[in-house]
Structure 1
């Protein structure tokens, strides 16, 4: 049996000029289907481009997922969306907004 998922909005809270954005580009508001608020951060960060998908070097360990802006409570807040605009049935995934894929720069010229 599949867990019942909830809808969460990840909303930027830092000002556009906040220095915390220097390592992670802002994506704007993103809506995800996830198990919990913490899981919502994971779902959104997994939608970003990871260094293993291109010829870039990792910043931490074996993945750049930990450097995602979505994981920072200084950059994003997570709000449960009970508006009914989105169905809770379905896979864990991003269902609204746009997750940028230019969060990493290729080392190829």
Structure 2
């Protein structure tokens, strides 16, 4: 039996000059297929580039997932999308929008 998922829109809700954006660039609106609104934040943040995937050193622990703008309620709001524009059936993941991968800079030139 396939897991029942929903469609969620992650929409920026902070002004472009908000100082909270300095640690993570805005991605614009992203649509994901996820279990819950909280899971939608996890799905979107997992699509970002992580320190463990390049030759950079994380500032805390071994991952930068916790620093994702998608996890910050001051930067993004999560809205359930009941429009039917996107299929709820399918794998958990990003279904529309672009998750930037330039959120980290490699130390190699």
TM-score by length of 2: 0.98
**SS of structure 2 residue aligned to 1:104:** coil
**SS of structure 1 residue aligned to 2:99:** coil
Instruction: State the Cα distance separating 1:2 from its structure 2 match.
Output: 2.3
- Give the superposed CA RMSD: 0.6
| Paired position in structure 1 for 2:10 | 10
1:65-104 equivalent positions in 2, closer than 5 A: 65-104=65-104
In 2, Cα distance between the equivalents of 1:54 and 1:63? 11
> Are 1:20 and 2:20 counterparts?
yes
- Misfit runs of 4+, over 4 Å: none
**SS of structure 1 residue aligned to 2:95:** strand
How many aligned residue pairs are there? 109
Instruction: State the Cα distance separating 1:58 from its structure 2 match.
Output: 1.1
**SS of structure 2 residue aligned to 1:20:** helix
Gaps of 5+ in 2: none
**SS of structure 2 residue aligned to 1:102:** coil
Q: Is the 8 A contact 1:60 1:66 kept in 2?
A: no
In 1, Cα distance between the equivalents of 2:59 and 2:90? 32
